Amino acid sequence: MSANDSSRDDGDDRGLQERRISRHSQQPLVSEHRVRLTGTPIILRGSHGPTLLKVHGALMLLAWMLTGSVGTFMASFYKNDWTSRTLCGQKVWFQVHRGLMVLTVALTVVGFGLPFVYRRGWSMRAGVHPVLGCCVLALSLLQPITACARPAPDSPRRSVFTWLHWGVGSLTEGVAVAAMFLGVGQSSLPLPSSLATHILIGYVSWMMAFRLLLLIHKHFYMTKFRADDQRTLLSDQSDDSIKSSWFRFLVLSTLVLGNLGLLSALLSCVCQL
């Protein structure tokens, strides 16, 4: 075979590959409506991200970067705050925690179904992301079911429920964070991967920093309270308690505002697709 024949065969192979129908490696720009290619030229508007998948991403980010994270944060660190106040007959922290987690489950259920509507089934090319999504949904539904069956406060099984509820909640939040990291790299929702990943890293670092801050505060406050209990007046302890309550309220407010800022940065990336 001559060199000309060999180059001709290589050219034919490349031509066949170019004409072969295959999937895009990245989501192409898609027009908002059907267009006749042979018609009059018009200015088109389009998006790299399908609307259903953008709504899916927005709902999941809202659920696990704001409502879910703040709800679990309240349950972890604010059970002893606002003890003299109630909300609809229950403690303030419990009502806020329950309301935020119910909203988180609702957002997760709605967001979970949208990719299946768009794909009309399971996507084999989405990797581990949909598997983690199924785990998040199952664990999210398990939490309110077990909460409805929680034992009475004086029950010997109450401690078992408390640890189980905390463990499943922590696992759910961890899996949701992993799903978000994998979700920003999906080809069907082409976020600027470097920016989105850095925002998520900032979110995880932000949450860990505030959890560490309140753990340190709790340790030093309880140590000081035990020492002062033996040598100071109750009025001084009350002043310390008020200062601690205001500090914790400031921490919670800062956490919520920071989460909102990070969430808004990611949502703006989704909207610009």
- Per-residue pLDDT tens listing for the chain (273 residues): 544 555 555 555 555 455 665 554 555 555 555 666 676 766 655 555 678 888 999 999 999 999 999 999 999 888 888 777 777 878 888 999 999 999 999 999 999 999 999 888 887 777 888 999 999 999 999 999 988 888 888 888 888 998 999 999 999 999 999 999 988 877 667 676 688 899 999 999 999 999 999 888 877 766 655 555 545 544 444 555 666 778 888 999 999 999 999 999 999 888 776
The answer to whether position 230 is within a domain reads yes
Contact 181, 202 (CB under 8 A): no
The answer to whether position 37 is within a domain reads no
Domain count, the chain: 1
The answer to whether position 26 is within a domain reads no
Give the CATH number of the domain where residue 59 resides: 1.20.120
Query: How many CB atoms neighbour CB 27 within 10 A?
Result: 17
The answer to whether position 199 is within a domain reads yes
The answer to whether position 62 is within a domain reads yes
Q: Which domain holds residue 235?
A: 46-271
The answer to whether position 41 is within a domain reads no
